[in-house]
Chain A
Amino acid sequence: MSVVFWKELADHFSSRRFMILLALIVLIGLWATYASGQAIRQDTENAPTHYVFLFLLTSGTGTVFSLATFLGFFGPLVGITLGFDSISGEYARGTLSRVLSQPIYRDSLINGKFFAGLATVAILWGSILLLVIGLGITLLGFPPNAEELWRMLIFTAVGIFYVGFWLALAMLFSLLFQKTVTAALASMAVWLFMTLFVVIISQAIAGIIVPDPSTPEQMARRADVENIVSRISPSTLFSESVSILLNPAARVFGLALQSQAEGILPTPLELGQSLNLIWPHITTLFGLVAVCFGISYIIFMRAEIRA
């Protein structure tokens, strides 16, 4: 497996496609951080007193998305880019049957490809985070504290699972369709559906279940239904976990009634408590990755290799 892994990793890092994506993400990431950093510097009175570094990642200024939103939106693109031609490309080039007629187990090929993709994502995400921390120290004038670092690390891990899901999905499609273009388009379609349409659909479904939100209770119920439906999308899972993880003050998803919020002290949550809130999200994301990859694995092991 290691031979395939290193070959694929080298391929990813030397491919032009990846270079373009990397440049795009790094540039926009830096820009987003810079913009929110400047906003914090100029308006110190409104800036939070704690966890300024996390605020740097989550606050967007009027025209620019926050870094977290941005990564949530473009992360899938990275995964799809790395995965959509992993198997279909080998078919198209006629290399698959040659590689598989070498004395390697069939799963080493697909494992090597998947983990090389995941490693690429990890390196990418890690380097963006380091860049952001570096830029943040320059802009803010002090380093992040330990808890902020931990939260950012977990944010990275969740992000890797999230992009890993799209990678696994793109690989599955590349195996199912055997045509590179079809695989890319199918992955893109799922991506658009999950990020844009799920929101609309969840609103529609919530509108049907709670047609007339006149009381605060019903409004809260409608928001709940909307949340639950939209959680079929990994994008929602990711953005919700990020919103809890990078904002220690947050303690609920969506709306909370006044009666529920009564008596809660406005202190930040501990890391462990924040994690408790998003465990279901993280496990679901991880599960999605495993299911997607598992299906690809089974199909690939039984496939007939005729190049």
Chain B
Amino acid sequence: MSAVVETQNLTKRYHDKLAVNALNLTVQEGEIFGFLGPNGAGKTTTILMLLGLTEATSGRASVCGFDPTRESLEVKRRVGYLPENPGFYEDISARENLLYMARLNRIPEDEAHRRITEVLEQVGLSDDGRRLVGEFSRGMKQRLGIAEVLVKNPRAVFLDEPTLGIDPDGAIRILELIKGLNRERNLTVMLSSHQLEQVQAICSRIGIIVKGRLIVQGKMDDLGRAILKERQWNFLLEVGSGANGLETELRSINGIDEIEKRAHGLFLRCTRDVRPEVVSLLARKNISLLQLRSEDPTLEEIYLKYFREA
């Protein structure tokens, strides 16, 4: 496996504001890398630097083995980029839009037509190819954007917020499409987002960027284990009425670290499996048990933990 994207201390400064601060990032061939961070964290700026659309203030980057600043044409030949809110020429048809991009990529005309038919089918727009893009819905435009990225047959794609502003069903279709492409073509995908569940669903590795700093990168499982190494046991406890004073009693159980009130019930962070004790406590006090559920660390927790630390 080789690295498709590699950056060393990549930095971008706007006047007195550091947009991206000494970023060290690696994306391996064939993986789906989730680039996470709140709005304005520097995700888009990083992607622009990787494409040579803006110049880094300092540091180095390499994309498919090329320097994006000096050999940006080589990078752009191999990498597809879908910006946030991609725009199209609305007064021409979807096919013509794709054809223009194919021509800019110097793909021979008949080859281009063949590929356009193929990618339109892949994104599920076969029947809409001859329609004007002005008539397209947001989700269709987003899928057309993915089609356009694929026309050049890229090695890697950078997708900036690919599901932003799309209804849940449309978002799922796009994510499945991305996952499918990754599987079938061994396409490397770098995906920026702040929608955590979606990233969790498809990414093999993530990096979290806050205020221009990459605070963590790694496999989902590793990250989860890293932050929860001492507290592997999390439970959600919901009980019926008569739970007064339950919290104090729970605290006396050895192994329960923290008790958090949730909308429904209590969240227990424990150092071991305390379920037998909890159940027997409830039985002693004659409190009815509604649910006692083991909770895995979600990406949201990982994210919030790192986000707060930064």
Binding site for B on A (CB under 8 A): 3-4, 7, 92-95, 97-105, 304-307
Complex interface: stretch among B33-41, B86-94, B225-233, B278-286: B86-94
B172 on interface, CB distance cutoff 8 Å? no
Question: A7 CA to B51 CA in the complex, in Å?
Answer: 24
User: Is B213 an interface position by the 8 A CB rule?
Assistant: no
Which of A4, A99, A306 contacts B48, CB < 8 Å?
A306
**Across the interface, do A94 and B104 meet the contact criterion of CB distance under 8 Å?**
no
Complex Cα–Cα for A99 and B102 (A)? 11
Task: Return the contact of B54 from the options A3, A7, A105, A305 (Cβ within 8 A).
Answer: A305
Interface stretch, picked from B73-81, B246-254, B294-302, is B73-81
Assembly CA distance A102 to B83 (angstroms):
12
Chain B residues in 8 Å Cβ range of A105: 73
Could you tell me if B54 and A98 are in contact, using CB atoms closer than 8 angstroms? no
B104/A99 in contact, CB under 8 A: yes
B161 is an interface residue with CB less than 8 A from chain A: no
Judge whether B103 is part of the interface by a CB distance below 8 angstroms. yes
Which residue on chain A has the smallest CB distance to residue B76? A103
Looking at the complex, which one of A92, A93, A98, A306 makes contact with B148 (CB distance below 8 Å)?
Answer: A98
Residue of B nearest to A99 (CB): B104
- Least distance between B47 CB and chain A CB atoms (Å): 10
Q: B54 touching A306 by the CB < 8 A rule?
A: yes
**Can you show 9 pairs from A to B with CB atoms below 8 A apart?**
A4-B104, A93-B88, A97-B81, A101-B53, A101-B83, A102-B101, A104-B76, A305-B53, A305-B54
Do the beta carbons of A94 and B86 come within 8 Å of each other? Answer: yes
Chain B residues near A95 (CB-CB < 8 A)? 87-89
Q: Provide the residues of chain B in CB contact with A92, threshold 8 Å.
A: 87
Contact A3-B76, Cβ < 8 Å, known A94-B85, A94-B87, A98-B81 = no
CB-nearest residue of chain A to B44: A306
A100: which B residues are within 8 A, CB to CB? 53
Q: Which 6 pairs across A and B sit closest by C-beta, in order of nearness?
A: A94-B87, A101-B81, A93-B87, A102-B104, A103-B77, A304-B54
Looking at the complex, which one of A4, A304, A305, A307 makes contact with B87 (CB distance below 8 Å)? A307
Query: Is there an interface contact between B104 and A97, defined as CB atoms closer than 8 Å?
Result: no
With a cutoff of 8 Å between Cβ atoms, the chain A residues found around residue B145 in the complex are: 98
B100 at interface, CB cutoff 8 A = yes
Alpha-carbon gap, A98 to B101, bound state (A): 9
**Chain A residues with CB below 8 A from B126, complex form:** none
Contacts A3-B103, A101-B83, A307-B87 aside, 15 further interface pairs with beta carbons under 8 A come to A4-B104, A7-B100, A92-B87, A97-B83, A98-B148, A99-B104, A101-B76, A101-B79, A101-B81, A103-B76, A103-B77, A104-B73, A104-B104, A306-B48, A306-B54
**Is B105 in the interface zone, CB < 8 Å from A?**
yes
Report B74 CB to chain A, min CB distance, Å: 8
User: Is A103 a contact of B148 with CB atoms below 8 Å?
Assistant: no
Cβ of A297 to closest chain B Cβ, rounded Å = 17
User: How far in angstroms is the closest Cβ of chain A from B84?
Assistant: 8
Chain B hits for A102, CB < 8 A = 76, 101, 104-105, 152
The minimal Cβ–Cβ distance linking A60 to chain B, given in whole angstroms, is 39
Q: For residue B159, give the distance in angstroms from its CB to the closest CB of chain A.
A: 12
Q: For A3, give the chain B residue with the smallest CB separation.
A: B103
Please determine whether A103 and B89 come into contact, CB atoms closer than 8 angstroms: no
6-50 of chain B: CB within 8 A of chain A: 44, 48
**For residue A90, which residue of chain B has the nearest CB?**
B87
Is B89 in contact with A93, judged by CB distance below 8 angstroms?
yes
**Which of A97, A101, A102, A104 neighbours the largest number of chain B CB atoms within 10 Å of its CB?**
A101
The chain B residue sitting closest to A6, CB to CB, is B103
**CB-nearest residue of chain A relative to B85?**
A94
Q: Give the residue name and chain of the B residue nearest to A105 (CB).
A: B73
Contact, CB under 8 Å: B104 / A307: no
Residues of chain B within 8 A of A104, CB atoms compared: 73, 76, 104
Q: How far is the CA of A104 from the CA of B53 in the complex (A)?
A: 12
In Å, the complex CA distance between A248 and B229 comes to: 94
Nearest B-chain residue to A16, judged by Cβ: B91
**Residues in A whose Cβ lies below 8 Å from that of B100:** 3, 7
Shortest Cβ distance from B156 into chain A, in angstroms? 12
Task: Determine the distance from Cα of A4 to Cα of B105 in the docked complex, in whole angstroms.
Answer: 12
Q: How far is the CB of B7 from chain A (nearest CB, A)?
A: 18
- A93 CA to B97 CA, complexed, in Å: 13
**Which chain A residue has the least Cβ–Cβ distance from B90?**
A93
Q: Given the complex of chains A and B, what is the CA–CA distance between A306 and B19 in angstroms?
A: 14
Pair A304/B104 contact, Cβ less than 8 Å: no
- The complex places the Cα of A307 from the Cα of B73 at a distance, in Å, of 19
Question: Across the interface, do B85 and A304 meet the contact criterion of CB distance under 8 Å?
Answer: no
Distance A304 CA – B20 CA, assembled complex (angstroms): 15
CB distance from B214 to the nearest CB of A (A): 20
Chain B hits for A97, CB < 8 A = 53, 81, 83
Determine the distance from Cα of A104 to Cα of B101 in the docked complex, in whole angstroms: 10
Whole-angstrom distance from the CB of B80 to the nearest CB of chain A? 8
Q: Whole-angstrom distance between the alpha carbons of A93 and B54 in the complex? A: 20
